[in-house]
């Protein structure tokens, strides 16, 4: 894939000044800047799920849908992406559309943020890069679909040899950037139990709203007990506000199970995941390409039932995040 087709490429890279901190490369939309100045609730949204999570037009509809859920919950949405050496905090509708239809946009995480900014053009921020941008802008709550984590086979491969060591940059970011991330749990393509352990090791609180198990993205249950259980976004906000107020440096993971009517239960999705993971290994898919490949393959194998669950959980997370942001702001 090439980025050449993406609008905005072709500036003289050498003219771009060296940034003086992340804040120096932000372009904050006026509505978001105004809300932040007044202490009104703002919810950050990521852009990788737009470019790599779903095909067009579902991706555009979920990008718009998440923004409307945030607004309905009384907060201001700030979708985050890279464009031409800037981190955009809040996209115009036409920018959402450009991202949703552009081919070959790179996935941007902490390790690839500098390259994306330096090269110009569009970049789609994953959880880690979105957290970095949100924090620099002063946004404390961020909604995504599912968090990245420890991939199955990261430690030991199927033959018993050493594994891929593929552990999402999302986990270390949660350990070092003080933002509350609302998600439907680790994607079940991962090893959920190891992901939860890795978060505990990194000092990241994991709260589940309305469930005693860590949710597993498409499924409401993972079989892994949630380290912390709360009943409502308001109760989550009390812990989140306290944690962020302590300034320990780390963020929090707030998990919300997919709505019951939209879930693909674990018994149903697990064999599909096992097949897709085996196919990816056989095809040599790895690195940043692995998660998008698995999501697309699982969508095919479930005749899009997984996509329906994914779309529903993203909207639901956006709504819950708005409630959390509102409670934090009051």
Least Å distance, CB 134 to ligand PSU, is 13
Q: What CA–CA distance (Å, rounded) separates 214 from 223?
A: 7
- Report the C-alpha gap between 174 and 61 in whole angstroms: 28
Q: Which residue is nearest to ligand PSU (CB)?
A: 145
Burial 265-288, CB ≥16 within 10 A → b, else e? ebeebeebbeebbeebbeeebeeb
Q: Which is nearer to Mn ion, 95 or 166 (CB)?
A: 166
Which neighbouring-strand residues pair with 28?
A: 89
Ranges within 165-224 binding Mn ion (CB under 5 A): 166
**Distance in Å, CB of 204 to Mn ion, minimum:** 18
Pick one of ligand PSU, Mn ion, none as the site partner of residue 170 (Cβ within 5 to 8 A by kind).
Answer: ligand PSU
For residues 131 and 209, which CB has a smaller minimum distance to ligand PSU in the complex?
131
- Output the smallest distance, CB 163 to ligand PSU, in A: 15
Q: 77: which residues sit within 8 A by CB, 6+ positions away?
A: 42, 43, 45, 66, 67, 70, 71, 90, 318
Tokens 């941008």 belong to: 133
CB 187 within 8 A of CB 272: no
Q: Is 107 noted as a catalytic residue in this protein?
A: no
Residue (294 or 325) nearer to Mn ion, CB: 294
Bridge pairing between strands 206-209 and 228-230: parallel
Cβ nearer to ligand PSU, comparing 219 with 295: 295
| Token pair recorded at residue 317 | 């997370």
Single out the catalytic residue among 58, 95, 187, 263. Answer: 187
Catalytic residue (one of 46, 58, 67, 263): 46
For residue 149, the minimal CB distance to ligand PSU (Å) is 7
Tokens of 202: 């990194």
46 has catalytic annotation? yes
Interface positions, 98-157, toward Mn ion (CB under 5 A): none
Of residues 166 and 173, the one with the C-beta less far from Mn ion: 166
Burial class, 39, CB count within 10 angstroms (exposed 0-12 / middle 13-18 / buried 19+): exposed
CB 161, min distance to ligand PSU, A: 22
Residues 152-171, mask of contacts with Mn ion (x by CB under 5 A): --------------x-----
Catalytically active residues, by annotation: 46, 187
Site for Mn ion, rule CB under 5 A: 166
């Amino acid at each position: 894939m090439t980025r050449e087709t993406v609008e905005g490429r072709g500036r003289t890279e050498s003219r771009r000044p060296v940034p003086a901190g992340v804040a120096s490369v932000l372009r904050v939309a006026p509505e978001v800047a105004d809300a932040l100045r007044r202490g009104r609730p703002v919810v950050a949204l990521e852009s990788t799920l737009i470019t790599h999570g779903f095909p067009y037009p579902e991706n555009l509809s979920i990008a718009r849908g998440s923004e409307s859920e945030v607004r309905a919950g009384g907060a201001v949405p700030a979708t985050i992406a890279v464009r031409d050496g800037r981190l955009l905090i809040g996209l115009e509708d036409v920018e959402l559309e450009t991202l949703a239809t552009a081919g070959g946009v790179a996935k941007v995480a902490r390790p690839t943020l500098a390259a994306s900014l330096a090269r110009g053009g569009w970049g789609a921020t994953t959880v880690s890069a979105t957290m970095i941008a949100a924090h620099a802008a002063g946004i404390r709550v961020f909604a995504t679909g599912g968090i990245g984590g420890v991939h199955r086979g990261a430690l030991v491969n199927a033959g018993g040899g050493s594994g891929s060591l593929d552990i999402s940059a999302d986990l270390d970011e949660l350990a070092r950037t003080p933002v509350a991330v609302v998600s439907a749990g680790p994607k079940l393509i991962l090893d959920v139990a190891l992901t939860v352990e890795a978060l505990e090791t990194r000092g990241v609180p994991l709260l589940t709203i309305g469930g005693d198990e860590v949710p597993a993205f498409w499924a409401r249950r993972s079989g892994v007990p949630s380290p912390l259980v709360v009943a409502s976004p308001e109760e989550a906000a009390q812990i989140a506000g306290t944690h962020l107020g302590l300034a320990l440096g780390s963020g929090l993971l707030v998990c919300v199970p997919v709505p019951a009517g939209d879930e693909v239960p674990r018994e149903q999705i697990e064999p599909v995941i096992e097949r897709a993971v085996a196919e990816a290994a056989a095809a040599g898919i790895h690195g940043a390409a692995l998660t998008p490949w698995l999501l697309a393959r699982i969508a095919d194998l479930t005749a899009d039932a997984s996509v329906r669950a994914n779309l529903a959980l993203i909207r639901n997370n956006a709504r819950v995040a708005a409630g959390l942001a509102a409670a934090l702001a009051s």
